[in-house]
Amino acid sequence: MGRLEEMHQRYGEAVSFFVVYIQEAHTTDGWQVPDNEREAILFEQPKSAAEREAVAAACMVGQKVSIPTLIDEMTNEVDRAYAALPDRLYLIDAEGRIAYKSGPGPMGFKPQELEAAIGEAAEPGRERRD
């Protein structure tokens, strides 16, 4: 998240940044990964909105994230609509269209590509990429 935090600081007055917290990808009652065990990131899949909010808050504090965080509904509508699991980056333009979509994480999670897309979107007269 460090690179995203830097971008939030650099472009935050021109671009609205949000983290959308979706369902947990690596839970103790699901598919736990060794990295999470080593780092003591141990959560069960939340069963209620309140539990999801608590886990999201713990993750944001643990990762030192200052970017405003939105929390997906328990029906996972945002996750499904944006194919977000486990993580993904999007840039939505002023007309509400997708100007950039990363590949799925973790391999497709490339903040430098998002930053380049922000730069492209800011260029006057620049045509939108699909």
User: Residue ranges per domain, the chain?
Assistant: 2-122
Q: What pLDDT, on a 0 to 100 scale, did the predictor assign at position 40?
A: 66
Tell how far CA 33 is from the center of its chain.
19
Q: Is the pLDDT of residue 128 over 50?
A: no
Q: Is the pLDDT of residue 130 over 50?
A: no
pTM for the model stands at: 0.76
Element (H, E) at 112: helix 111-122
Element (H, E) at 91: strand 90-92
**7-26 tens-digit pLDDT:** 999 998 889 999 999 987 77
Token pair 């430098």: residue: 112
Taking domain 2-122, whether its CATH number is 3.40.1710.10 is answered by: no
Q: What pLDDT, on a 0 to 100 scale, did the predictor assign at position 33?
A: 66
Q: What pLDDT, on a 0 to 100 scale, did the predictor assign at position 38?
A: 73
Q: What pLDDT, on a 0 to 100 scale, did the predictor assign at position 44?
A: 81
**57-89 tens-digit pLDDT:** 988 888 888 999 999 999 999 999 999 888 899
DSSP one-letter code for 100: E
**44-54 tens-digit pLDDT:** 888 999 999 99
Identify whether the C-beta of residue 88 lies closer than 8 Å to the C-beta of residue 101.
Answer: yes
